[in-house]
Amino acid sequence: MPDLTPPQLAPLPPLQAIRVFEAVARHLSFTKAAQELGMTQAAASYQIKLLEERIGAPLFLRRPKQIELTGPGQRLAPAVSEAFSILGQAYAAARGGADGLLCVTTVLTFASNWLAQHLGSFQIAHPALAVRLDTSSRLTDFAREDVDLAIRSGGGKWPGLEAHKLLDADFTPMLSPKLAASIGGVKEPADLLRLPILDPGDVWWSQWFEAAGVTGHDLAKRPGSSMGAQAYEANAAMAGHGVAILTRALFKNELADGRLIQPFDLVGDDGHAYWLVYPTARRNVPKIRAFRDWILAEIACA
């Protein structure tokens, strides 16, 4: 006869202590964790002491002006963080209607020059899933913000996050045909220095001129105006206000219809790219999986 005795579950630690541990490990600060949880620092320290007594080992090294995780603390922290993430997802689903909203945070230029132009096909494929876009370039704290996925530029190495490469963030100068004609055409890279340079402090400019063999440029002496996003610089370039240094994949339409021209084939590449990122613990959430599969397929066909 088969053994129908239910399996014995491992004993759970005090859940309040675990909640405090997660916050302290994330902030590496008893004070910040206590503020987040609405308790005193003494109460947070007491909960950690209870947990350490239950485990039989210290979880934090207390130093004069900082704390750090011990070996047992380092082993416990990622598992606790993942457990809270899974619990949060289950709670959102049980609350009703949460699965119908997908929150995506992305940098402005990718949102306006790529995502907005392709998102319609995702909505057609997933009509019951509403998409909310947030444009931001700052780092996203998935543990504290109501965000499902992020699209960011960088090297693709972010601890605890799954990262899928979308587009290379290469760069090359672009300008309006009218501005190029104002100096009789742009025939060699040094000709660009005869025109206004948009955001001359952008490191891409010095890298591109160096690759082009142009030395002695005066970029450091030019007015240091900055618009903060390629989309704004491209608009200024199309209006004839200067030369912008832009990522080709994000301005295909403007190049195709002649609003911008790329005077040289030389393209810079500092190893950065646009990436789709989300917490590893959420990789199998249906709405995240749906968006990931769609955007990777859409990029491949573009």
Asked if residue 108 and residue 52 are part of one domain, the reply reads no
The residue from 94, 120, 153 where one domain ends is 94
pLDDT at 93 over 70: no
Q: Is residue 297 part of a domain?
A: yes
Please tell me the predicted confidence (pLDDT) of residue 59.
Answer: 94
Asked if residue 109 and residue 88 are part of one domain, the reply reads no
Residue with tokens 């240091």: 224
14 band by pLDDT with thresholds 50, 70 and 90:
confident
Amino acid at the residue 10:
A
Query: Which residues, 6 or more positions from 214, have their beta carbon under 8 angstroms from its beta carbon?
Result: 189, 190, 193
Q: What is the CATH number of the domain that holds 152?
A: 3.40.190.10
26 band by pLDDT with thresholds 50, 70 and 90:
very high
A 10 A CB-CB count for 71 gives 10
Asked if residue 90 and residue 219 are part of one domain, the reply reads no
What is the C-alpha separation between 233 and 257, in angstroms, rounded? 18
For the stretch 165-177, pLDDT in tens is 999 999 999 999 9
CA 54 to chain centre: 38
Asked if residue 112 and residue 248 are part of one domain, the reply reads no
The residue from 94, 112, 143 where one domain ends is 94
Q: What is the mean pLDDT of residues 32-55?
A: 91
Asked if residue 147 and residue 215 are part of one domain, the reply reads no
Structural domain of residue 200, as residue ranges?
172-256
For the stretch 189-215, pLDDT in tens is 999 999 999 999 899 999 999 999 998
**Residue in 155, 150, 115, 153 with CA at minimum distance from that of residue 298:** 115
CA atoms within 13 A on the CB side of 145: 17
Asked if residue 25 and residue 78 are part of one domain, the reply reads yes
Amino acid at the residue 62:
R
CA 190 to chain centre: 35
Q: Is residue 124 part of a domain?
A: yes
A 10 A CB-CB count for 35 gives 15
Please tell me the predicted confidence (pLDDT) of residue 152.
Answer: 93
Asked if residue 102 and residue 249 are part of one domain, the reply reads no
12 band by pLDDT with thresholds 50, 70 and 90:
confident
Please tell me the predicted confidence (pLDDT) of residue 266.
Answer: 97
Q: What pTM does this model have?
A: 0.67
Q: Is residue 288 part of a domain?
A: yes
Q: Is residue 167 part of a domain?
A: no
For the stretch 246-264, pLDDT in tens is 999 999 999 999 999 999 9
pLDDT at 235 over 90: yes
Q: What is the mean pLDDT of residues 139-144?
A: 82
For the stretch 152-165, pLDDT in tens is 999 988 888 999 99
Contact 219, 201 (CB under 8 A): yes
Q: Is residue 10 part of a domain?
A: no
Instruction: Report the DSSP pairing between strands 161-168 and 130-135.
Output: unpaired
What is the C-alpha separation between 139 and 25, in angstroms, rounded? 19
Residue with tokens 């309006």: 176
Asked if residue 212 and residue 90 are part of one domain, the reply reads no
Number of domains forming the structure of the chain? 3
CA atoms within 13 A on the CB side of 299: 18
Asked if residue 123 and residue 70 are part of one domain, the reply reads no
For the stretch 57-91, pLDDT in tens is 999 998 888 899 999 999 999 988 888 877 776 66
Give the per-residue SS3 of the chain.
CCCCCCCCCCCCCCHHHHHHHHHHHHHCCHHHHHHHHCCCHHHHHHHHHHHHHHHCCCCEEECCCCEEECHHHHHHHHHHHHHHHHHHHHHHHHHCCHHHEEEEEECHHHHHHHHHHHHHHHHHHCCCCEEEEEECCCCCCCCCCCCCEEEEEECCCCCCEEEEEEEECCEEEEECHHHHHCCCCCCCHHHHHHCCECCCCCHHHHHHHHHCCCCCCCHHHCCCCCCCCHHHHHHHHHCCCCEEEECHHHCHHHHHCCCCECCCCCCECCCCEEEEEEEHHHCCCHHHHHHHHHHHHHHHHC
Token pair listed for 243 = 């030369």
Contact 129, 102 (CB under 8 A): yes
The residue from 94, 117, 138 where one domain ends is 94
Instruction: Report the DSSP pairing between strands 172-174 and 149-154.
Output: unpaired
Q: What is the mean pLDDT of residues 170-186?
A: 97
Q: Is residue 7 part of a domain?
A: no
Please tell me the predicted confidence (pLDDT) of residue 22.
Answer: 92
Q: What is the CATH number of the domain that holds 69?
A: 1.10.10.10
Contact 243, 175 (CB under 8 A): yes
Q: Is residue 210 part of a domain?
A: yes
Asked if residue 34 and residue 155 are part of one domain, the reply reads no
Asked if residue 90 and residue 46 are part of one domain, the reply reads yes
Q: Is residue 86 part of a domain?
A: yes
Asked if residue 250 and residue 176 are part of one domain, the reply reads yes
